[in-house]
A and B are shown apart, each in its own frame.
Chain A
Amino acid sequence: MQIFPFVVVAWILAVGLYGIVTSRHLVHQIVCLIVAQSSTYVLLLGVGYKTGAVAPYFFDVPDHTPAVDPVVQALTLTDVVVGAAVTALLLSLAVQAQKRFGTLDPQELVQLRG
């Protein structure tokens, strides 16, 4: 149990990157990017977890109850928003790409080569 959550983190990242590299459809590729990013959520919350501790809300528990790390939760919230923002922008680019290129296969979205 000590390392298992982090193995899952590495797995999610690897799977997401695999999807991006092998993708033949831009929308699929964007979803894979979301997957790769979700590994950071699990990692952040994983490192801040404390066994047996409560959530960091002191509304109905005494003030000094051991609680898990609130900072990583705040960071994850920021991360979620950033991910949603980037995804929205990428999706709008995909809509335009479909219109201008007539395809969403990244291998055919090629305009200029070195």
Chain B
Amino acid sequence: MASPHIMAVVTPYTVPAGLMDVLQVALLVLVAAGATALVLTRDPLRQVVLLSVYGVLLAVLFMAFQAPDVTLSALTVGAVILPALLLLTLAKVRRREK
């Protein structure tokens, strides 16, 4: 473990508090709007695209909440895996709906 007095010289990069607040509020508003849009979109195929966007929005919000680990998961799951699964499902389902 490096000795503390050496490490103390390195100041971690932090966003100024006021800016952080604004950023978080903006992201929260975007997430709330994204959730609403996602629910009100009744066409599943459009929903898949929106879900991807919503996944990214959540990921960025979690970044602002200082949770990089969760950001990575939200990105990979919310923006890639879930939309992919939904697309595959819709591909099968739609084929039969015709």
Contacts and interface: CB of A to CB of B under 8 A. Distances in A.
A and B touch in the complex (CB under 8 A): yes
Interface of A: 1, 4-5, 8, 11-12, 15-16, 18-19, 24-25, 27-28, 30-32, 34-35, 38, 41-42, 45-46, 49, 51-57, 60-65, 67-68, 73, 76-77, 80-81, 83-84, 87-88, 91-92, 94-95, 98-99, 102, 104
Query: Chain B interface secondary structure, helix, strand, loop or mixed?
Result: helix
Contact of B69 (A38, A67, A77, A98): A77
Nearest to A28: B44
Given A8-B32, A12-B31, A80-B73, A42 B7 contact: no
Given A5-B24, A42-B31, A88-B85, A35 B14 contact: no
Contacts of B14: 52, 54
Given A55-B67, A91-B85, 4 more contacts: A8-B32, A27-B47, A27-B90, A91-B89
Interface of B: 1, 4, 7-8, 10, 12, 14, 17, 20-21, 24-25, 28-29, 31-32, 35-36, 38-40, 42, 44, 47, 51, 54, 58, 61-62, 65-70, 73-74, 77-78, 81-82, 85-86, 89-90, 92-93, 96-97
